[in-house]
Amino acid sequence: MENRGPILIELDAAEAPADVAAAPEVDAPEGAAMQAALGSMARKRGGGPGSWALAAGGALVSLAVSVAAWDFAARLIERAPLLGWLAAVLAGVLALALVLWAGKEALGYARVARLDRLRARASAALVAGDLTEARAVAAAVAGLYGAEDRTLEALDAEAVIEGAEAHLLIALDARVEVEIQTAARAVALATAIIPLAFADVAAALSANLRMIRRIAEIYGGRPGAFGNWRLARSVAVHLMATGLVAVTDDVIHSVAGGGLLSKLSRRFGEGVVNGALTARVGLAAMELCRPLPFRMGRKPGVSAVTATALKGLFDRG
């Protein structure tokens, strides 16, 4: 290894003395709020005796409540038939609404899963060069968005998939990018301004969950509440597994070169890093929700997205 040895430069007396008190801190901000938010997104819920106890308790309570409601309605019918039937109908409506809600959640789940399947099929078709499969995927994606399939004249798998991507997804990608930028901006501002610990984590968490839901909706996923949590968890796990939650230099440089951060106060530096991490979450969610894999260099870079999102936000520290 090369060692350059010590360097000593003596400065002119005319040069202003070093103002240590005003010097920026040496450590880069670590985006604490986003790290905490990602941590809670990635945490696995349920499992173990605790959740069994909870589930059994819940079942017991709902059993008791339904029996009580049944008794209540039955007795009311004896006393005042009109009111009794009203109560019975209301109970029926409630039960129906619950069933519908559960169905909707399941449907949302299935829709997200369908996007995932489509992308897997598209990747497989690309690897195998399977034209029929590629056409089937393109048709399915076109059907998803209610558009006509214009890729019939293409004669190899890559052309079919890329044609479908160009035709169907570019407009959606742009909308998703705007969504990511909005969220990154919101998180950056919130974590820079909210002085309360935990409140900034809550703000970052809610903004990220909203962003992930919007991204899934744009690509036709429309996940329910559970589907959204599930999606957020896979995004967070994916980011952690690939080490993308670490604050590396590119996060910082993406904002506007390394020099800027050192001029910002600590708090605004945290905001910038939180915003940049949000953009990463958004891009990971985009990849997970998109029905086709990114081709032809269409994948947006973290730096570009972050830079656009935070432009003008912290220009002067």
Partner 1 sequence: MISSLTGLITHSIDAVSDTVSEAFFEPVVRLGVTGLSRAGKTVFITALVHNLMEPGRMQRMRAVQQGLIRGAWLQPQPDMTLPRFDYEAHLASLTGEAPRWPQGTRAVSELRLSFRLAPTGLFGGLTGPRKLHLDIVDYPGEWLLDLGLMGKSYASWSAEVLARLPKRPQAEVFREVLLNIDPQARHEESVAQSLAREFTAYLVAAREAGWSDCTPGRFLLPGEMAGSPVLTFAPLPGSEGKRGSLWREMARRFDAYKAQVIRPFFETHFARLDRQVVLIDVLEAVHRGPAALEDQRRAMAEVLAAFRPGANGFFTSMLRGRRVEKILFAATKADHLHHTQHPRLTALAEALLREARDRARFSGAETAAMSIAALRSTIEEQRSHGGREVDLVRGRLSDGRQVAVNAGELPEDPSRLLLPAREGAERWLQGDYGVMQFAPPVLSRVPGQGLPHIRLDSAAEFLIGDRLV
In the chain, the amino acid numbered 126 is L
Structure tokens at 77: 């019918």
What is the nearest approach in angstroms of partner 1 to the Cβ of residue 283?
28
**DSSP notation for 22-54:** TSPPSSPP--HHHHHHHHHHHPPP--HHHHHHH
Smallest distance from partner 1 to CB 208, Å = 21
153 touches partner 1 by CB under 8 A: no
175 to 214: interface string for partner 1, x by CB under 8 A: ---------------------xx-----------------
Shortest Cβ 200–partner 1 spacing (Å): 10
Nearer to partner 1, 25 or 148 (CB): 25
Query: Whose Cβ is closer to partner 1: residue 14's or residue 127's?
Result: 14
* Rounded CA separation 309/98 (Å): 40
> Which of 226-257 are b and which e, b meaning 16 or more Cβ less than 10 Å from the residue's Cβ?
ebbbbbbbbbbbbbeeeebbebeeebbbbbbe
Q: Which is nearer to partner 1, 33 or 285 (CB)?
A: 33
Among 43, 263, 266, 299, binds partner 1 (CB under 8 A): 266
- Whether the CA torsion 193, 195, 197, 203 is positive or negative: it is negative
- Site track 10-29 with partner 1 (rule: CB under 8 A), x = hit: xx-x-x-xxxxxxx-xxx--
Residue 5 near partner 1 by CB under 8 A: yes
Give residue 62's identity as a one-letter amino acid code: S
For partner 1, give the closer residue by CB, 266 or 311.
Answer: 266
For residue 207, give the nearest of 271, 289, 111, 124 by alpha carbon: 271
Per CB under 8 A, 243 contacts partner 1: no
Quick one: 11 or 127, whose CB is closer to partner 1?
A: 11
We find the least distance from the C-beta atom of residue 57 to partner 1, in angstroms, to be 22
6 binds partner 1 (CB under 8 A): yes
**Residue nearer to partner 1 on the CB measure, 46 or 243:** 243
> Which CB atom, from 6 or from 48, has the smaller least distance to partner 1?
6
Cα Rg, the chain, nearest whole Å: 27
Burial of 16 (C-beta count, 10 Å sphere; 0-12/13-18/19+): exposed
Give the residue from 221, 242, 224, 189 showing the smallest Cα distance to 288: 221
Using CB under 8 A, list all residues that contact partner 1. 1, 3-11, 13, 15, 17-23, 25-27, 196-197, 266
